[in-house]
Structure formats: C-alpha cells, structure tokens
Chains A and B, each alone.
Chain A
Amino acid sequence: MTPDYAGLFFALRPESLLVLGALAALGLDLSVLRGRAAGQRLGCALAIGSLAVLLAGLLTWTGPRGPVFGGVLVLDTLALGTRLGVLGLTLLTLGIARGGKVPSQPAEYVAMMLFAAVGLLLMAAVQQLLLGFLALELASLSLYVLAGFDRTRPEAAEAALKYFLFGTMAAAFLLFGFSLVYGLTGSIELPQIAARLSGPVPSPMLLVAIAMILVAFGFKSAAAPFHLWAPDVYQGAPAPSAALIASASKLAGFALFSRLLWPGFGAAAGQARSFAGGPGWLPAVAAVAAASLLLGNLAALAQSNLRRLLAYSAIAHAGALLLGVMAAGQAGFAPLFYYAATYGLATVGAFGVIAALEREGRCEDIADLAGLHRRSPLLAGCLGVFILSLAGIPPLAGFFGKLAVFAAAFRMGGPAAWLAVLAIALSAVALYYYLIVLKEAWVAAPTAGARPVAVSRVTAFTLVVAAGLIVGFGLEPALLLGRF
C-alpha cells in the first residue's frame, strides 16, 4: 500500500488544530501575558482552547468519512459520534474550568487538556493495535498530569500517583495482550485480525490475550475489580480534571474497547445467549459488569464525601455500560454511545457544580451542599438535572440511556437479561444516595454563615447548556439513537 499522507493529514486536521491551540496558549502565556494575574491568563488560555475545540468540532463534522491511511483509522458513525462527543465534553470541561479554582499554571493546564483530547480523538477512530496503544497512552499520560495538577493539595499528589501506577500497570497488560494477539494472528490491523479469528477455533492463548486487554479496559472504564484508583482520583484531582477523566476519557475508552472487542475479537465472543459452547470473552465482561454494578451501588451508599460518591456511582454506571458493550454485537453501538455520551454530560455538569462551589469555599462532603437552593438557585437547579439524570429519572437523558442499554441486553437474553434485571433492581438502591445529595441541595437549610455563591458567567452558561442538552436528548432521544 502506498501511504496516503495527504489523506491522513486531511483527516487529522482536528487533532492538529488542538495541538496548535495548545501551543498557541502556551506561547501566548509565556510571552504577552507574562506577569499578569493568573485569572486573566486562565481566561485567555481557555478562550484559545475553546476556539480550537470548536473549530476542531466543525472540521470533524464536515471532514471525510470512511477508512483513513489504509484503514489504520476509520471514521465511521461510531468514530464520528465519539469524536464529536469528546470535543463537546472537552469544551464543557473548559467551560467549567473557568469558574473553578485558578491553577498555578493556567496555560499548561489548558494545554494538557487539549493534549488529552487529542489522544481521546485518536482513540475514537483507531483500527490498529499499535496506534490504539499510543493514543491511549497519550491520553492517559496527559490525564495523570491533570489529576495531580493542584500541587498545593497532598490529595492531588496521591490521586496522580495512584492513577499513574494503576494506569501503567494496565498499559503493561494491554501491551502484553496486544503482542500475544500479534503473535497469534500475525497482524495488528483489526480487520485482518478479525479475518484470521473467524476461521477454526483459535488457540486458548487468544483468551489469555483478551483477558489481558480486558484488564486494561476495566481500568480505563473504572469497572470493579479494577476500580481502586477511581475514588481517590475523583476526590483528589482538581474538579475539571476529574470531569474530563470521568466523561470524555470514558466515552473514548468505551469506543476504543468496544471496537476492539466486537469488530476485532467478535469471533471469540463466546455464546451470547447461554454462554455455553466455546469459551469467549463475554462471560468475563459479564462478571466484571456484575461486580461493578454491585460494588458501585452498594459502596456508594456508605459515602459521605460527594466526590467519592460520584466515583462509586461512576463504577456502577461502568457496569451498565459494560452491559451495553456486551449487547453491542447484536444491537449495535447506538445504546452504548447514547448512554456513555449522556452520562458524560451529567458527570461534567456535576463536577462543574463542585468546581463552582470550591471557588467560594469548601465542597468536600455532601453536607457542604446544604442550602444550595438559597445560596445559588442556578447551581441547585442544574445539579438537580445532573443528579436525576444519573439516577435515571425520565424525561432526562440518563433514563433513556438505561432504557436503550437494558432493552438491548434483554434482547440478547440469557445472562445478559439477568444482568439487566440486576441493574434495574440496583437503580432503586442508587436512587437513595442520589436523593441524599439532592436533599442537601434542595431541602436542607443553609448552615449559619453560608454566603450566596457567585458563579462565573462562563460556567453558568456551560452548566445551563449541559443541563439543556440532558433535557433535550431526553425529550428527543432519537437525535442520538437514530443516527446509528
């Protein structure tokens, strides 16, 4: 094959633009804005970053479709949706970063976010193991830095270190798994791997390889038992970093791994209906999903820290998303994508509220939300939309994500259907801890001396947009579901 560098460049214009944006933000900060107030530098860097993301979104929307560079990348519906989703969630993250605590090096902070977004964009479209690994690592390394960006807090250092150690371990597993796959099939291109696997039953070594890949997947999606980093990172990282880790990174991770699992290793999935017959990876994913659902929902009940509660709720949602991955072979990627994207919206929003509150005072425990309806009706209202969407209350988008995923799982039948029953039963448990959060925000009276919260206009706008999107996608789910 003759490498088509022009085509590659053309297809990767969004990525290039983000890198340029990051460099521009850094350069401007070093030259013109040197010595200015940190708030001003942050505003400038965010403006450049947002502009780059917006343009990248436009270029993604109007850009080419189909395979790129001989099939190393593919810009199909899943890739396109995920890339737009990643860009949208990054934009929202930049928006909430405006109203949060100002980091000591604002331009570097924004640049790291953009670099992470580049990695995530590539993850969404990649169809080759090697580039997939590189994209994942680019995103992960940027996210490690973002997690520990607030050097004044020891929790941030702990978060970053924990995230890094778990992440590199997972990356090692992933690389080992990939090398085994290469050894077995002689290729790193997903379509060729799929073609080799569709023949006679492959060696058991393939299952070992896939198991290793699943470890990395479990880490990326914060699924039990690979979730141990999540509560600490959610707690220690600056709120916008946590938002990016919890939303865009998750969306891209699910796109990458479900592309690996279904189009790549679909032949080794095992029997979907009964799990009988040949061994496959479906039972392993089912076990991880069940563990995540149970552990996430039950452990969340015991949390008093708001961020840790969101982390355990994220673990529970990872379980439901894995259910979507299992069902994707039969139902397509639409339910999974809808769930992951709208979950990302709600999570960014929730962290945005936390960020805005942190600027004014503390927002650690759920009790710190007390009287939010007095202190800032806007934040209380938006938080209500985000939390109720996470809880899966119609007509918000979170409900329809669950509905689509569970319906697909029921269609699959067998253990997947039972997992869906488990997930639905646990959603009643989940309502308890979500209502506890909202009780503080909406019902409880403010503590003595609590002052009204001033929300920056950009953040307020961002939160209203996120809430509006959740309501909009809820009232008209076909906007997303109908595109696949």
Chain B
Amino acid sequence: MSLLPWTIFVSLAGALLAWAAGRRSARAARWTALVVTAGAWALTLLAATRFVPGPRLQTLVDLPWIPAMGIRCHLAVDGISLTLLVLTGLAATAAVLFSWNIRERAGEFFALLLTLVAGVYGVFLSADALLFFVFYEIAIVPKYFLIATWGSTNREYGAMKLALYSFAGSAMVLAGLLWVYAGGDGHGFGFAELAQTAAGLPRHQQIFVFALVFFGFATLAGIFPLHTWAPTGHVAAPTGASMLLAGVVMKLGAYGCLRVALPLSAVGFAFWQPTIAWLAVIGIVYAGLVALMQDDLKFVIGYSSVSHMGFVLLGLAAANAQGFSGAVLQMFSHGVIAGLLFAVVGRMIYDRTHTRRLSDLRALPLRRLLPFAAAVFVIAGIASMGLPGFSGFPAELTILIGAWKAAPVWAAIAALGVLVAAAFTLRAIQLAFFGSAPAPAGGTGAGAPAIHLEPITLAEKAGALLLIGATVLIGLKPDLLLDWINPALQSPLLQSVMKGGRP
C-alpha cells in the first residue's frame, strides 16, 4: 500500500490526539497539530519522490464499500491530485504555524482544523465520485465551527453564509450525481462510469445535470455571482482557517469541476462553456474592482482570492492543454500566495494592532514597527500580481495563452483583470505599510503615542518562509509541477473534454 492514503488517517488520528492534548494544555495541542500536519506533508513529499507521472489515475486502494449501490472505496492519484496534495500539506503546516497564538479551546480548534485537512486530503485522493462527495462534506462542516467560534468581524453571519453556500453547492452536486447514477441505470460512481452513463441520457438532461454538478462545485470555487460567501467567510475566519479556506478549500471546488463535472458530459460542457468562461472573466474583473474599493485589508485579500480563482475557472473553461495545466498551477500558486497574504493580514497585523482598516493602518508606521511583516506582504503582493519569478506568473500566463486559443476576447478581458490586480495590490501595500506615518524622530506635534507591538514570532517567520520558498521555487521552476500535471492531462477523460467529447 502506498503512503498517500495515510495522510487521511494520520490527519484524522491527529485530530483526536490534538483534542486530547488540548485538555492538558494549548501548547501540547499546537505541537501535536504541527507534528501531524508536517508529518502528513512529509508523506506527500515522500510519495512525490517515488511518483512516476503518467496519464492514468494510479490506484492506491480499491475496495468495495457499499456493494448494494456499487460504491467503492477507491483512492487513486495522478499528477494533478499529487500537486494539490503537496499544496494541502504545505498549507496545513503553515496554517498551524500561524495559529500558534490560539489559546482558547486550542484542542478543539486544532482538532477541527485537522479534520478539515483530512477531508481535503480525502477529496484529492478519491477516485469514486461518492467517496469524493463524502470527503467534500467532511471538509465543509468544520469550517462553520472554526469560523463561528474563533473568528472575528461578524463571525456567525460569515460562518453560516459560508456553510449554507457550500452545502447548497454540494446538494446540487449530489442531485446531479444521483440523477446520472440512477437515470442511466448506472452501477457505480467511478468517474469514467458516470461519464459513460451520462452520455446515454437525453441532451436536455445532460445539459441540466452538467449545470447542477458544475455550478455546485463552482460555488465553492467562488464563481461569480455565487462568490459572495467567500469574502465574508474569509474575513470572519481566524487566520489559520482563512489560510486553509483560500488555500485549499476553494481548490476543492475547482478540483471537483475539473475531475467530476467537466468529464461528466461533453454535450453539457459544450452548452455551458461560453457561460462559464464569461462568468469567470466577469469574476476576475469585478472582484478585482471591488477589492480596489475596500477599506478592510482582509476584504481586499478576500476579493482578490475570488479574482484569482476566476483565472482557475477561466483555465477550465478554455478546455485545452494550456488552460488545464495553467488552472492546476494557479490552484497551487494561489493556495500558497493567498495563504501568505491572509497570514500577514490576520496574524501579523490584526492580532497586534487589532485593526484591519486601511484608514487606521495608514496612520501607523507599520513599515518600521513590523519590518518583517512589511517585507513578507510586499513579496506576497508582488507574487500575487503575477510578476515573473513567482508562481503566479507562469500560472496566469499559461491560462491566458489557453484562453487566447479558445477565444481571444476572454484572454483580453482577463488580462485587464491582471492590471486591476496590480492596482489593488499596490494600493493595499501603499496604504497599509507606506501610509502617512509620522517620521520616527520627527516629533510631530500630534504626539503620536509610542506604539509597541509584540515582535514577530519564530513560528510566524517559519511559516512565512515556507510559503515564500514555495512560491519562488515554483516561480523559478514551474516544470517541477508541470512535469506531473501535463502527463495527467493525457488521461482519456480529460482528453475527451478537450476534444469536445470525441474519444
């Protein structure tokens, strides 16, 4: 048996352990969580070194689970899922490092966090649509409690909105999957099986079912106009949870679109392709413009997440090799960069200054008070803008090329989105760190109180360096991931999507 399924079990067992450790002390709980997440990440990396890229899903476990309904416990991996598994390990480890200051009910916090991570690992490993769905829901529920209990600003509203949107999306997915399963007299929930069954349905049903499944998943990926849960949820969430939310949970939606929805029905995709692409393009520009207007720094990042996820959806809608590989690369890249941005805003700034309002922050000499935070935020901002040398560049460029091949107008408008992204990122950097702070020795008449902020801790530095390292590494050498991703695009299911249903 391969190493990868252990990531699920280790995380689940770790959740129990962290809960038990939390009854002793918060310190024990956080160390347990760190060891578990780092251990699971090490497992993914170890498995990655032994991974041989290939076009097919490589089965790890395949056991009958509910024989009466043909549901199998089928775990498998290919280059796409491996990329996201590594991302999950990285994001989870960083999230724990940035949750180091959780003291209240720490055991429960880390237990929920690890349950969420276990669900995410499970989704990326599932090769049976129903098992996929089960893990998907396991990842949704802890988010509510993480946000409602440990969150800030309007947390109960944000948590409930997020939970209901996610659950409504997953209800659509379930309805669609069951429709295909039963309508075509299907015998199981394997991806290829479902696609085969769906092809037997009448055209209008295929279109309807595709819409249910795709938009159900896309809700979690933040597709316009179903994205409104994302900014409120991200803002309300505690730092570690918003890192995971933006970092990996939104990817669950995009991954579901790629793995389950797109191959489901070529007819349905052909019908919806322009709609999806336009919604993605609108999302990129609209969310970017909204981010430009925000006064709450975390809302800026929240909307920027929606904007960047729009690129992923655009890549999927382009449905060609560049589009898909760019989309997967962007999932990884955004997972790292968004995590970094949320870490700076939520942990480094908000936990110290207790404000996120740009109008307040610009009055603080943050650049001098927290030079490390400033440096990290600038780096993350540059990466987020998609400058060369960081992972966002190859990802967004590949997507734009893919979109151009599909329809130049999509690429043109999305490129406009890149400009908007540069604008809101620079604005945020400028206002938050390089605002009109009084000069240090100036002694302005206002008598600015001597502000003392607790220094950046070692855990934060370690987490930030991990994430920066990852984005720079992939920025300089995107082939590391592309060598895994591209062979996986040769799989029969994805090839049939790219060729419009022709095998």
Contact = CB atoms under 8 A, between A and B. Distances in A.
A478 B68 contact: yes
B156 A413 contact: no
Interface string A396-419: 000110011011101101000100
Contacts of A388: 141
A294 to B, nearest CB: 16
Contacts of A394: 133-134, 137-138
Contacts of B69: 403-404, 407, 481
Interface stretch (A174-182, A229-237, A431-439): A431-439
A388 B185 CA distance: 30
A431 B167 contact: yes
B409 to A, nearest CB: 35
Interface of A: 334, 373, 388, 393-395, 399-400, 403-404, 406-408, 410-411, 413, 417, 420-421, 424-425, 427-428, 431-432, 435, 438-439, 442-443, 477-478, 481-482
Contacts of B171: 424-425, 427-428
B183 interface: yes
A274 to B, nearest CB: 15
A420 B331 CA distance: 34
Most buried by A among B67, B145, B167: B167
B182 interface: yes
11 contacts: A373-B108, A403-B69, A407-B178, A413-B182, A421-B179, A424-B178, A438-B145, A439-B156, A477-B66, A478-B65, A481-B69
Q: Which 3 A-B pairs have the closest CB atoms?
A: A410-B182, A394-B134, A428-B168
Query: How many B residues are at the interface, by size bracket?
Result: 20 to 34
Contacts of A428: 164, 167-168, 171
A431 B149 CA distance: 18
Given A393-B138, A400-B66, 13 more contacts: A393-B137, A403-B174, A407-B69, A407-B182, A410-B182, A410-B183, A425-B168, A431-B167, A432-B164, A438-B145, A478-B67, A481-B68, A482-B66
A404 B182 CA distance: 11
Contacts of A438: 145
Interface of A is mostly: helix
B170 to A, nearest CB: 8
A404 B69 CA distance: 8
B144 interface: yes
Interface in B161-182: 163-164, 167-168, 171, 174-175, 178-179, 181-182
B413 interface: no
A478 B71 CA distance: 10
A399 B65 contact: no
Nearest to B149: A443
A98 to B, nearest CB: 27
Interface string B149-166: 100000010001001100
A411 B70 CA distance: 14
Contacts of A413: 182-183
B102 interface: no
Interface in B88-144: 105, 108, 130, 133-134, 137-138, 141, 144
A410 B179 contact: yes
B141 A421 contact: no
Given A439-B156, A481-B68, A395 B183 contact: no
A481 B160 contact: no
A117 B178 CA distance: 37
B148 interface: yes
A373 B137 CA distance: 23
Contacts of B65: 478
